[in-house]
């Protein structure tokens, strides 16, 4: 069985490591070129692993470019893994795999097809999800499901916690799937399109905090957009503040306006919300300045 891997992030690395540990090395690893990775959350340079294991490697800007397609067609793979890239795979690549192109999505398909799945899971307050391996077709996460593995989401989990949990589920699932591939025993189940729901695109601007929202909603936004994503943010005067970690506390003493700083020191900033206090515990800013109690975030 000849296999190709196409990827750019941590889940791509999980697949490559699983292929190595299961003695099922790909004929070629295609990795997104680092110079095009600026807007890719959690980018991983797969060339490091490929070179260490003497595997052929090729970088790409657009995997559908003629050079990449011709290389894949020349390999004539049985399976192609496409994991962790936002580019839609076109028919030339899909048709080049004799047995199919396998994609990965960290939700219980057909529920939550689409973009930015892990931040959306936190924003929606989901407590359980599934990692899914499926055959890619020309739709959005709509192909037949090969396998799924459940993982849990804690009520205080951040994006990186969910990221890690989903990748652990992917790793567990890969052991089963790669073994079936070795014996040409892969089967798949058609998705029920009537049960499909879709997650729409998120942009960094969607991380801007509305201080008129509840403290719990702001806290959920902070957790959902934290590393490896761009982060929830606000502005203090003309300075952008990215908030990586926070917690919610009861307010029984303070009266003021949403977004107003109650108190700040070297480690935390307490901010008044409509229904409580958001304690900012880890943040980032470009400039060096002092927060003044009583001033407001915009």
Smallest CA-to-CA distance from 163 within 125, 124, 121 is with: 121
The residue extents of the domains of the chain are 3-199, 205-284
Name the CATH superfamily housing domain 205-284: Formyl transferase, C-terminal domain (3.10.25.10)
Does residue 289 surpass a pLDDT of 90?
A: no
Cα–Cα distance measured from residue 204 to residue 215, given in angstroms and rounded to the nearest whole number: 20
Give me the helices (H) in 212-283, please. 215-225
Q: Which two tokens stand for residue 20?
A: 């190595």
Q: How far is CA 136 from the centre of its chain?
A: 18
**What CATH number matches the domain at 3-199, 3.40.720.10, 3.40.50.170, 2.40.30.30, 3.20.20.120?**
3.40.50.170
88: confidence class by pLDDT, cuts 50, 70, 90: confident
Q: Is 242 helix (H, G, I), strand (E, B) or coil?
A: strand
| pTM greater than 0.75 | yes
Per-residue model confidence as pLDDT tens digits over 135-192: 999 889 999 999 999 999 999 999 999 999 999 999 999 999 999 999 999 999 999 9
* Residue 86: predicted pLDDT: 85
């Amino acid at each position: 069985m000849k296999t190709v891997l196409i990827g750019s992030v941590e889940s791509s690395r999980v697949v490559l490591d699983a292929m190595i540990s299961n003695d099922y090395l790909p004929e070629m690893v295609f990795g997104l070129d680092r110079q095009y990775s600026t807007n890719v959350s959690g980018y991983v340079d797969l060339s490091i692993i490929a070179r260490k294991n003497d595997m052929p490697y090729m970088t790409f800007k657009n995997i559908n470019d003629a050079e990449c397609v011709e290389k894949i067609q020349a390999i004539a793979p049985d399976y192609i893994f496409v994991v962790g890239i936002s580019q839609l795979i076109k028919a030339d690549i899909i048709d080049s795999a004799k047995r199919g192109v396998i994609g990965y999505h960290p939700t219980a398909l057909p529920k939550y097809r689409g973009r930015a799945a892990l931040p959306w899971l936190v924003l929606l307050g989901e407590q359980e999800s599934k990692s899914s391996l499926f055959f890619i077709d020309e739709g959005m996460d709509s192909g037949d499901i090969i396998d799924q593995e459940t993982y849990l989401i804690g009520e205080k989990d951040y994006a990186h916690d969910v990221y890690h949990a989903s990748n652990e589920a992917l790793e567990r699932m890969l052991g089963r799937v790669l073994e079936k591939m070795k014996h040409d025993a892969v089967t798949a189940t058609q998705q029920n399109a009537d049960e499909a729901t879709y997650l729409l695109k998120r942009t960094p601007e969607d991380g801007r905090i509305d201080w008129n929202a509840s403290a719990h909603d702001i806290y959920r936004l902070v957790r959902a957009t934290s590393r490896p994503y761009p982060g929830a943010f606000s502005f203090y005067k003309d300075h952008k503040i990215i908030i990586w970690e926070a917690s919610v506390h009861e307010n029984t003493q303070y009266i003021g306006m949403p977004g107003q700083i109650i108190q700040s020191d070297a480690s935390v900033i307490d901010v008044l919300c409509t229904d409580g206090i958001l304690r900012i515990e880890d943040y980032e800013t470009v400039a060096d300045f002092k927060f003044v109690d009583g001033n407001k975030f915009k």
